Structure 1
Amino acid sequence: MPLDTKSYEIPVARSAADLREAVAAWRAEGLSVALVPTMGALHEGHLSLVDLARKNADRTIVSIFVNPTQFAPNEDFSAYPRTEAADAAKLEGKADLIFAPNAEDMYPEGFSTTISLTGVSEPLEGTFRPTHFAGVATVVAKLILRAMPDIAIFGEKDWQQLMVIRRMVADLDIPTKILGGPIVREPDGLALSSRNVYLSPEERKAAGQLNVILRETAASVANGAPISEATAKGGKRILALGFEKLDYLEVRDAASLAPFPNDRPTAPARILVAAKIGKTRLIDNMPV
């Protein structure tokens, strides 16, 4: 199947063969390649990653694929927004190619391989979504091996995901450099997310305070407060906003995501949160 150059202003590859053909043509010209994996429903956070890709490579691929294997049965796979035409319009003049496979192409009949990690994948999201990172690692490995980019770029909003992918690439000797793009926030500090569209006006107002509590809790720890004391206070404030459930509010080693044994940071640290308000589960993080 040739590249789809009729549907949008930007060409679209629908199969691995078409993607590899396009990349091979760039390689023949001596051009470097960046990959920005996404699940679509693009916002300014995604586009900032595309801008970062353009600064670091000659050609940029944006993949759009809502990956079923990283959703648990009770999660929002069927409801996850799918806006390919709008996404393509946003990428005009920014990316050079969209890779938009379907599930049958990514996971053909008989597919039976999963990449799973220990360590960095196990706490936090791994506790509450135990199958999630195996799905992420598997699909990211497939996307990287299909495109073989020089660099691949992921947002720091999913900090644990970024650490998982860096670990996987290092462990499997995949010759792609993994870059993290800074979190893009709304004026009130809410981290941009495709799931923010699910928030009611009241929920959106409360969600805008999540980053404030995160920042103040991180400052408390940085100023010497015990981690357990500071995060307990922060957790109570989050629930008082109207969040129904707090999965975690933790300060962890920024690279390994291991807890600090003496209740105080002894290495570069990150504070991470996951909390649910209404039907929407929000995550965020920042350095301590």
Structure 2
Amino acid sequence: MQQIKQQHDKVIVSIFVNPIQFGPLEDLVSYPLGLKREILAGQKRGQFTMLPNSGRTLRSVFCSYVDVNGRTEALCGKRRPGHFKAVCTIITKLFDITQLDRAYLRQKDPQQLAAIKQMVNDLNF
């Protein structure tokens, strides 16, 4: 984050636990957040923190999703159907909301990174 702030005048950090990426056997309620700590750390670095509201960001009913076929069916995607579709959908929504010039994402796992890179390339972000 320090390096990103040095390279850019404005930095927006989004903290969003995406409810649609959790499967039926995964516990969304017990997901660790530490929001207060993250927000305070961001303020010290002079960045904006965006906390999207899941009801507003992900309306209760919508029909469009972003799915990256060919990158998400194996490995983790095999055990978690719909997970990467949910991840790519919310990343697309956040890109649209922020109208960013550059994105830096915490790399959680190689498959997720590959799916997001493919999506960014395919959709000309």
The question of a shared fold, defined as TM-score above 0.5 by the shorter chain, is answered with yes
Question: Equivalent residue of 2:32, what SS?
Answer: coil
CA contact (8 A) 1:137 1:165 kept: yes
Residue aligning to 2:35: 84
Residue aligning to 1:113: 64
Question: Equivalent residue of 2:66, what SS?
Answer: coil
Q: State the alpha-carbon separation in 2 of the partners of residues 136 and 61 from structure 1.
A: 19
Amino acid at match of 2:78: T
Q: State the alpha-carbon separation in 1 of the partners of residues 77 and 61 from structure 2.
A: 27
Count of aligned positions: 125
Unpaired segments ≥5 residues, structure 1: 1-49, 175-288
RCO (CA 8 Å, sep 6+): is it higher in 1 or 2? 2
Shift in alpha-carbon separation, 1:76–1:163, aligned structure 2, 3 A: same
Residue aligning to 2:2: 51
Identity of aligned residues (%): 34
Question: Equivalent residue of 1:59, what SS?
Answer: coil
Q: State the alpha-carbon separation in 2 of the partners of residues 72 and 99 from structure 1.
A: 25
Residue aligning to 2:82: 131
Amino acid at match of 2:30: A
CA contact (8 A) 1:155 1:162 kept: no
Name the one with the larger strand percent. 1
Unpaired segments ≥5 residues, structure 2: none
Find 2:13's aligned residue among 59, 62, 66: 62
Shift in alpha-carbon separation, 1:163–1:55, aligned structure 2, 3 A: farther
Residue aligning to 1:151: 102
Q: What is the CA distance between 1:95 and its match in structure 2?
A: 4.3
Residues 68-217 of structure 1 aligned to structure 2 (within 5 Å): 68-174=19-125
Spell out structure 1 runs of 4+ moving beyond 6 A.
none
Shift in alpha-carbon separation, 1:56–1:121, aligned structure 2, 3 A: farther
Q: What is the CA distance between 1:75 and its match in structure 2?
A: 0.6
- Listed one character per residue, the Cα deviations across residues 163-215 of structure 1 (whole Å, up to 9, x for unaligned) are 111110111112xxxxxxxxxxxxxxxxxxxxxxxxxxxxxxxxxxxxxxxxx
